[in-house]
């Protein structure tokens, strides 16, 4: 091409640019564009410039697109931009989150004697909506009509989607009415967007009504439409209604996707209706329309484990592997939890080894399940080894892991170790905060003076110890008193007084009265004497 030294038509270069675009080679396209005049005696027009710009944007090189535009149009003035040029630049800026600059470019278009078209408005509206600037996007709808540019269904869809995501369904519905007034007919995207928004808001009856309206308007719902409604029904506890819609879908010749099946299977298991869940599973497998994926298998395994049937769940796992469907960390964590729940710790540990063999990397849920299960069966040393492995791989323990480890340490007699972990949680460095279960584990321990001192020391310089420690210990005394563990409560009060953390008078009164009630008069008198005069 270069050697013949002849003039080539621009359309030949445009074909090459398109080929570079399909091959994702934007640098090659730019290089050829720069050589068009010198080597091929072809002066590029805006058509060539737009072709190269489109190649760059298709490759996802948005910064490079802006640089190319700035170099050719703004600095060198080699090419005069047209509406397509601006559409591409506005798109690139919106993709980069540079919405303000996109608005500036949009406002500069008249200076180039170029008026925005419906695509320009639509692209900018989409960028504004994604930047949570809905009001500006809606105002552009009025502006474009004033300028003689009439919106199309995609234009309305962008705004409807933005309003639905914001939860403003009333205005979204009004826009649909406005569509009809402007002669625009809602399409599948319009209906799907509104149905999804209604389901998110829990307005399922309106979503179903809109689905019927969609069908009557000769629009074909897709698997996303049905899937959104079925998932919404399942989340509202109306799993049977969701199954009925699935049946209606299949009778019309449509195929539900894997996520619909997984949603229904999980829903029936949560309703303690495993028979229906297994029925859905068998129908999916027998019909053979959709091959179960990891999500479906995991939903079935988790449901069987929750029903106390981990052995059946393991059979499903083997079926899954034989079907060349790779289990993930969630699949294994559900199955391990199921075996631990049935006091089958050896089987759970075997699964942990299988994970490594299958090269499935554990996540924080897997570690949490394993630590909890090991601590429950008294294998605290093994749990500590797993804990160290988790920390070394960069996973941070969640509240379940912390609580399980604290419980295991306290139950094995290492209360000090448990309190140290509790201190780690309380200081906020871990990202996990103690919950009711964590506190209840500590309350189960009958604390002596040493235990309380460790706790107070752990709060030194943290969490306003004078108040936080007093509130915690006072609550601990109340809990111990309610459980008739008066000696433990009196030990806590003793430490509180030594640290000048005075308990509420009502708390102290309850403990003393309980000691008297138990005829431990001597203990009560001595305690009051020491508290008051020593």
Tens-digit pLDDT string for the chain (534 aa) = 454 556 678 899 999 999 999 999 999 999 999 999 888 888 899 999 999 999 999 999 999 999 999 888 877 766 789 999 999 999 999 999 999 999 999 999 999 999 999 999 999 999 999 999 999 999 999 999 999 999 999 999 999 999 998 889 999 989 988 888 888 888 889 998 999 899 888 888 988 888 888 888 888 787 788 888 999 999 889 999 999 988 887 887 777 888 899 999 999 999 999 999 999 999 888 877 678 999 999 999 999 999 999 999 999 999 999 999 999 999 999 999 999 999 999 999 999 999 988 889 999 999 999 999 999 999 999 999 999 999 898 888 888 888 899 989 888 888 788 878 887 887 766 667 777 677 667 666 655 555 555 555 554 444 455 666 677 778 778 877 877 778 778 877 887 887 777 888 888 888 888 877 765 555 555 666 566 555
Structural domain includes residue 185: no
pLDDT, position 14: 92
Q: Which of 37, 65, 35, 40 is nearest to 50 (CA)?
A: 65
Number of neighbours of residue 105 by Cβ within 10 angstroms:
21
What is d(CA 426, CA 432) in angstroms, rounded to the nearest whole number?
8
Which token pair is 378?
Answer: 């008294």
Question: How much of the chain is in helix, strand and coil states, percent to nearest 5?
Answer: 75, 0, 25
What is d(CA 175, CA 170) in angstroms, rounded to the nearest whole number?
9
- Residues spanned by the domain of 462: 446-534
What is d(CA 464, CA 447) in angstroms, rounded to the nearest whole number?
22
Structural domain includes residue 511: yes
The pair phi, psi for residue 166, each rounded to 5°, is -80, -10
What is d(CA 479, CA 322) in angstroms, rounded to the nearest whole number?
53
Which token pair is 374?
Answer: 């090991």
Q: Based on the structure, what is the number of domains in the chain?
A: 1
Residue labelled with tokens 């009711």: 436
pLDDT, position 132: 93
> For the whole prediction, is pTM greater than 0.75?
no
Angle at 207 between CA 204 and CA 208, to 5 degrees: 90
> Torsion angle, CA of 290/295/296/300, rounded to 10 degrees?
170
Q: Which of 199, 260, 252 is nearest to 227 (CA)?
A: 260
Structural domain includes residue 528: yes
Angle at 173 between CA 167 and CA 179, to 5 degrees: 135
pLDDT, position 462: 45
Q: How far is CA 387 from the centre of its chain?
A: 25
Q: How far is CA 369 from CA 70, 295, 531, in A?
A: 55, 19, 46
What is d(CA 10, CA 38) in angstroms, rounded to the nearest whole number?
14
Structural domain includes residue 471: yes
Structural domain includes residue 54: no
Structural domain includes residue 497: yes
Structural domain includes residue 460: yes
Structural domain includes residue 461: yes
């Amino acid at each position: 091409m270069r050697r013949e030294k002849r003039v080539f038509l621009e359309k030949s270069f445009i074909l090459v640019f398109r080929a570079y675009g399909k091959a994702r080679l934007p640098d090659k396209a730019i290089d050829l564009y720069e050589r068009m005049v010198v080597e091929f005696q072809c002066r590029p027009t805006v058509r060539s410039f737009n072709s190269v710009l489109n190649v760059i944007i298709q490759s996802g090189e948005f910064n490079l697109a802006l640089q190319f535009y700035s170099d050719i149009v703004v600095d060198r003035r080699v090419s005069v931009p047209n509406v397509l040029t601006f559409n591409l630049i506005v798109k690139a800026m919106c993709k980069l989150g540079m919405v303000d600059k996109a608005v500036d470019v949009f406002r500069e278009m008249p200076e180039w004697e170029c008026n925005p078209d419906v695509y320009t408005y639509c692209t900018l509206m989409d960028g504004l909506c994604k930047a949570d600037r809905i009001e500006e996007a809606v105002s552009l709808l009025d502006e474009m009509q004033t300028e003689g540019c009439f919106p199309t269904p995609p234009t309305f869809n962008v705004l409807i989607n933005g309003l639905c995501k914001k939860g403003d369904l009333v205005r979204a519905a009004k826009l649909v009415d406005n569509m009809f007034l402007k002669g625009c007919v809602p399409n599948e995207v319009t209906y799907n967007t509104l149905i999804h928004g209604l389901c998110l808001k829990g307005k399922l009856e309106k979503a179903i009504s809109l689905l019927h309206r969609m069908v009557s308007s000769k629009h074909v719902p897709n698997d996303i439409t049905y899937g959104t409604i079925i998932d919404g029904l399942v989340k509202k506890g109306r799993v049977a209604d969701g199954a009925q819609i699935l049946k209606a879908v299949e009778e019309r010749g449509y195929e539900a996707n894997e996520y619909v099946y997984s949603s229904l299977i999980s829903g029936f298991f949560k309703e303690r209706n495993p028979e229906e869940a297994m029925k859905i599973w068998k129908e999916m497998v027998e019909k053979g329309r959709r091959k179960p994926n990891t999500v479906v298998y995991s939903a079935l395994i988790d449901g069987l484990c929750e029903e106390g049937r981990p052995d059946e769940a393991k059979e499903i796992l083997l079926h899954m592997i034989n079907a060349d469907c790779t289990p993930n960390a969630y699949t294994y964590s559900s199955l391990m939890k199921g075996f631990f729940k049935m006091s089958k710790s050896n089987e759970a540990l075997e699964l942990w080894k299988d994970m490594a063999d299958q090269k499935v990397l554990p996540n924080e849920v897997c570690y949490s399940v394993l630590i909890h299960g090991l601590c429950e069966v008294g294998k605290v040393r093994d749990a500590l080894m797993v804990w160290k492995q988790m920390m070394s791989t960069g996973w941070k323990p969640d509240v379940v892991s912390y609580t399980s480890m604290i419980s295991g340490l306290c139950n094995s007699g290492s209360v000090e170790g448990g309190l140290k972990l509790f201190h780690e949680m309380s200081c906020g460095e871990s990202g996990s905060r103690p919950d009711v279960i964590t506190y209840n584990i500590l309350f189960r321990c009958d604390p002596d003076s040493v235990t309380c001192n460790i706790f107070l020391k752990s709060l030194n310089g943290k969490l306003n110890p004078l108040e936080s420690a007093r509130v915690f210990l006072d609550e601990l005394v109340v809990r111990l008193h309610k459980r008739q563990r008066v000696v433990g409560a009196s030990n806590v009060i003793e430490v509180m007084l030594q640290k000048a953390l005075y308990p509420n008078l009502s708390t102290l009164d309850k403990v003393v009265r309980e000691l008297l009630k138990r005829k431990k008069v001597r203990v009560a008198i001595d305690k009051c004497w020491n508290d008051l005069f020593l």
